[in-house]
Structure 1
Amino acid sequence: MKKFFVIIGCLLAGLQVSYGQAAASKQLKPRELREMAATVQQFLNVLPDSLKQKAVFPFDDEERFNWHFTPRPRKGACYKSMNQSQRQAALAIIQTVLSEKGNAKTIAIMELEIILKALENREPNDHYRDPENYYFTVFGTPGGKEPWAWRMEGHHISLNFSSVTGQLLSSTPAFLGSNPAIVPDGPQKGKQILKLEEDLARSLMQSFSAEQLKTVIIDVKAPGEIITSNKRKAILESSQGIRMAEMSLIQKKRFMELLNVYLDNFNEELAVNHMKKIRKAGLDNLRFAWAGSQERGQGHYYRIHGPTLLIEYDNTQTHANHVHTVVRDLTDDFGEDILKKHYDQQAHGK
């Protein structure tokens, strides 16, 4: 294992330099859709034809819904195949839609592949775990009023953004995971990328009374994976857990802190839009549910579920040291709701 940790510093430094240079070139992080479109187009402009052909698909191609969070063959322009300027352009896209916290988590998850490779005692020429094995894909033509979208994806990351009318933007599914959840060994021992996602949920759980826990805990055993997995449309058969309306003021405050950990991964504009939609559907209609053990180091799962929103957190795999999280818009994943409205308006000549 030691021979892998020797090279971790150099590899991480390379990735961080690339990220840092991209950040420096975009000190004023764009928040508007047209600026995101310009950043995506700039990325495409710096790609050679060989990579651009891999990166671009028609908007209506089924590949747009072919999302996943496991190591597997993917379509798109691979980060590993890009030169330094192309990598900077790729990372600049992420900065247009994520906050500094969201950016930092994304880069840290990519870097974690090196640590995971060492922990699994993989050979140096084994690229199953690789911090550069991430893909950027564009669907349609960025900008204008015609539908278009883009995706950044690899192991434990799937970011999907869709523009339908030139004004509205869908930013889900948004998946972030971490394996290991807490680094058990090596120079970065104790590192926990998704720490608040666990700690705030546990703090909320500790605040519930025995009577409330009867509603909060929906199963003594946690599911082995997020329930909605990588399905095109997120659907839960029933609403379970305690409603926000049934929480005390202190519990509501902790619940909102947990909710904001997920929303704050997006840039301010997108986070505000998410919250507006949640509030319109009614904060009191949000539910918090827990399954599995309440002991640290034991398998556990929780979710935040409302009329428009589903957030899932699962930590059961690899001896409960392997986290999966996802944010889903139950009404508009992949922009399908606003896309339907767009086509309906065209059909009526509007």
Structure 2
Amino acid sequence: MMGRVWSWRTISLILSTLSSINAPMINPFKSLRPLAWFAAASLLGHFSIHAGVEAVVADMKSAAEHFLNALNEEERQVATFEFDDAQRTDWHFIPKERKGLIWNQMSGEKKTLAHALLASGLSTRGYIQSTTIMTLEKILQDMEGPNRRFPRDPELYHVSIFGTPSTSQTWGWSIEGHHLSLNFTIAHGKAISATPHFMGTNPALVKEGPRKGLQVLADEENLARALLHSLKPAQLKKALIGNKAPGDIFTAAEQTVSPLENKGIAASDLNWHQKESLLEIIETYLHHVRPELADQELESIDRAGIENIQFAWMGGKEVGDAHYYRIQGPTFLLEYDNIQNGANHVHAVWRDFKNDFGRDLLKWHYQNVAH
């Protein structure tokens, strides 16, 4: 047991399994359920947890300051906003007019520093996915030709910083453009909200040309379909909530979201391996961001109860079919659709019901910290 690394998924599965046993035995985890992440450490052995959120804050502050210091006064005015500016929560994932400093208006050094800011909030995989999504605009440009409806430019992405970068005060930043919206709120230098978090791809799968076979969000699609195919008929009847996929994700680009209709199959109705698959999908989304931030969110999901998470699917079940799925828990929502352009156009979003744009963090701060 010494030296073994226990993942959040393994610990959560053990806890949820023990809590579902109806035997006359003492469950040492039950009374510690709100602190499951830490209690399991002492009871199960050694495992690794990234608790360095403050280190992430420091990295973000440094990256934001270096970026801003490289800008001239005019560029700085375009890139910066007051923290409470309405622009901070005015997010979207479609091609549209936006505020903020545009990548294609920066010199080479400034673009590099913008990339450093982007990387400060993301995992290696999340950074690669984000920058690859940007490059899909060139493929769309070639596919749509000169009479295209929207401008397609891999550098038509906007950088915005809200408030003053700090390790002790509240501020935020976003990078946004077509099919990419990354929003980070830093509350009092102690906690970070990473939602709304949106990634999309068009084409979802590149079918021709030198990049044939590229599928940026492959795991987000394939893991969910594998879970669907693992369900027994009675389970599938619960999970499949519609034979036709909707037109898009239900929450669109709303600034705040509430839980969607309580439909789908609950984690409590899944076997061990199916639960593991469900949790792997959740981890795949949350690990777009830095592991320190992902672990913070996984703790929150765990405290709210793994058994309360639901998985729902709409549309076709096979590769190439238009489809939609969602994973919803008491605190969060993941939505995914692949419907448009012959089911080769993906929208995927991670939302937090209380803490999008740091609302819950900011509320707690104002209620508990002297001003």
1:109-168 Cα distance to aligned partner (Å, 9 max, x none)? 0001000111112369x9701000000000100104332110000000000000121101
1:68-113 Cα distance to aligned partner (Å, 9 max, x none)? 0011111001000001110111000111111110011011100010
Query: Kindly tell me: are residues 105 and 31 of structure 1, through their superposed partners in 2, closer, same or farther at Cα, counting changes over 3 Å?
Result: farther
SS of the aligned residue for 2:145 comes to coil
Contact 1:242 1:289 (C-alpha < 8 Å) held by counterparts: yes
TM-score, reference length from structure 2? 0.83
Query: Kindly tell me: are residues 180 and 72 of structure 1, through their superposed partners in 2, closer, same or farther at Cα, counting changes over 3 Å?
Result: same
One-letter code aligned to 1:49? E
Q: Considering only CA atoms, is the larger Rg found in Structure 1 or Structure 2? A: 2
Mapped partners of 1:206, 1:222: distance in 2: 17
Name which of 276, 289, 296 aligns with 2:319: 296
Name which of 267, 292, 295 aligns with 1:269: 292
Partner of 1:27 in structure 2? Answer: none
Name which of 97, 104, 111 aligns with 2:128: 104
Query: Kindly tell me: are residues 127 and 239 of structure 1, through their superposed partners in 2, closer, same or farther at Cα, counting changes over 3 Å?
Result: closer
Mapped partners of 2:120, 2:235: distance in 1: 41
Mapped pair 1:163 → 2:201: no
Mapped partners of 2:226, 2:144: distance in 1: 32
One-letter code aligned to 1:178? T
Q: CA deviation at 1:232?
A: 0.6
One-letter code aligned to 1:58? E
Q: Which moved more, 1:178-187 or 1:336-345?
A: 336-345
One-letter code aligned to 2:300? K
Query: Kindly tell me: are residues 307 and 50 of structure 1, through their superposed partners in 2, closer, same or farther at Cα, counting changes over 3 Å?
Result: same
Mapped partners of 1:150, 1:58: distance in 2: 11
SS of the aligned residue for 2:64 comes to helix
Mapped pair 1:116 → 2:140: yes
Mapped partners of 2:311, 2:260: distance in 1: 15
Partner of 1:134 in structure 2? Answer: 157
One-letter code aligned to 1:159? L
Q: CA deviation at 1:267?
A: 1.1
Mapped partners of 1:272, 1:338: distance in 2: 16
Contact 2:259 2:353 (C-alpha < 8 Å) held by counterparts: no
Partner of 1:4 in structure 2? Answer: none
Q: CA deviation at 1:35?
A: 2.1
One-letter code aligned to 1:324? H
TM-score, reference length from structure 1? 0.88
SS of the aligned residue for 2:135 comes to helix
Mapped partners of 1:32, 1:339: distance in 2: 18
Partner of 2:166 in structure 1? Answer: 143
Q: CA deviation at 1:179?
A: 0.2
Partner of 1:200 in structure 2? Answer: 223
Mapped pair 1:82 → 2:106: yes
SS of the aligned residue for 2:336 comes to strand
Contact 2:63 2:113 (C-alpha < 8 Å) held by counterparts: yes
One-letter code aligned to 1:334? F
Q: CA deviation at 1:218?
A: 1.0
Mapped partners of 2:221, 2:56: distance in 1: 32
Partner of 2:257 in structure 1? Answer: 234
Q: CA deviation at 1:241?
A: 0.9
Once the two structures are aligned, what percentage of the paired residues are identical?
A: 42
Aligned residues: 318
Q: CA deviation at 1:32?
A: 2.2
Contact 1:31 1:96 (C-alpha < 8 Å) held by counterparts: no
Mapped partners of 1:212, 1:261: distance in 2: 23
Mapped partners of 2:227, 2:146: distance in 1: 39
Mapped partners of 1:159, 1:98: distance in 2: 9
Q: CA deviation at 1:256?
A: 1.6
Mapped partners of 1:95, 1:296: distance in 2: 32
1:64-79 alignment, distance < 5 Å? 64-79=88-103
